[in-house]
Amino acid sequence: KDANLATLEVVKYVVKRFGLHMNKRLGQNFLIRPDVVAQIADTADLKPGDPVLEIGPGIGTLTQALAETGAAVTAVEIDSHLLPVLDKTLEHYDNVRIIHGDILKTDIAELMGHKPFKVCANLPYYITTPIIMTLLEERLPMERLVVMVQKEVAERMTASPGSRIYGALSVAVQYYTQPEIIFEIPPKAFMPAPEVTSAVVCLDVRKEPPVSVMEEKRFFQVVKAAFSQRRKTFANTLKAAGVSKDGVAAILADCGIEGSRRGETFSLDEFAAIADAWTRYNK
Ligand code: SAM
């Protein structure tokens, strides 16, 4: 029961015993560092009975660390080949529920019983952004998300206005949460080793957004427009989004923002001011 799954020996043994072929397309890289899985689970700060959602348990390496905290673990795995493996590797834990499915097609609110929960996952890198955006946009009753992502994606989540990597993901993540990079993980902590360095980010979900906007949809429309053409001045971005010449002048005058600036330099407050000016102009 007590064998730690997150070691090279155990992962190798499990792979051999079940004749697994790591599916690169599904982003299958398994952690082989007990200290790393423990630190990820620690960051989630779970108490016995706390509901936690794991995405992509793989062979159960992180799942085991989560289960050890006594939390009520629900893990969604897409690859049916891993189901018999998880049955075996986690057989001694009665606080783990494995669900076979695609997280992007799962009704998560329903799955988690419409109650508050945390997310803790070593995400499949090919769909990191869609997963994060879906979880946040659905306004699920999440308190905290602890996710392992590519280091570069973690840096984009926490980037500040004007930086080369500041983008729509930065704004959305910072609108819904307070993100913090907790630590980095080298490729050799995984089997097979991925090509990139990874990082664990802790996203504390905000109770209220940091800026208030009249129409949230408009806010995200402005953000999307600003980053879809990074080289354009903001006045031209608004024109490209279908606003008339007079409209652009009126919106800029209302919010007091220079039309010659580029959208990628705007703070959340500035995006909100523009969105509200646009909303007022449309009324
Ligand atoms: N949790 C394990 C670990 O830390 O060692 C494995 C993490 S591995 C990076 C990502 C896992 O996500 C794989 O097991 C993969 O099969 C699974 N996965 C990929 N796409 C998925 C999806 N759409 N829904 C649910 N699981 C998915």
Residue 221's beta-bridge partner residues? none
Pairing relation of β-strands 72-77 and 96-100? parallel
State how far the alpha carbon of 237 is from the alpha carbons of 112, 252, 261, 271, in Å: 41, 12, 10, 13
pTM: 0.95
Could you tell me if 154 and 199 are in contact, meaning their C-beta atoms sit under 8 angstroms apart?
A: yes
The predicted structure's pLDDT at residue 230: 83
Both tokens of 62, joined, read: 């992180």
Q: Residue written as tokens 């946009």?
A: 137
Give ipTM to 2 decimals: 0.98
The predicted structure's pLDDT at residue 115: 97
Could you tell me if 101 and 126 are in contact, meaning their C-beta atoms sit under 8 angstroms apart?
A: no
Binding site, annotated residues for S-adenosyl-L-methionine: 29, 31, 56, 77, 102, 122
Pocket test for ligand 1, best of 24, 122, 149, 185 (most atoms within 8 A of CB): 122
The predicted structure's pLDDT at residue 204: 98
Nearest CA, atom 19, ligand 1: 26
Nearest CA, atom 23, ligand 1: 102
Residues 30-42: tens digit of each pLDDT: 999 999 999 999 9
Could you tell me if 272 and 219 are in contact, meaning their C-beta atoms sit under 8 angstroms apart?
A: yes
State how far the alpha carbon of 191 is from the alpha carbons of 30, 126, 147, in Å: 5, 17, 18
Could you tell me if 153 and 129 are in contact, meaning their C-beta atoms sit under 8 angstroms apart?
A: yes
The predicted structure's pLDDT at residue 2: 60
* Order of all β-strands in the sheet with 198-205: 96-100, 72-77, 51-55, 117-122, 142-150, 198-205, 177-185
Residue ranges in the chain modelled with pLDDT below 70 = 1-2
CA dihedral 189, 159, 170, 242 (to 10 degrees): -140
Question: Which regions of 101-239 does DSSP assign to beta strands (E)?
Answer: 117-122, 142-150, 177-185, 190-191, 198-205
CA distance 33 to 148: 14
Residues 49-96: tens digit of each pLDDT: 999 999 999 999 999 999 999 999 999 999 999 999 999 999 999 999
Residue 22's beta-bridge partner residues? none
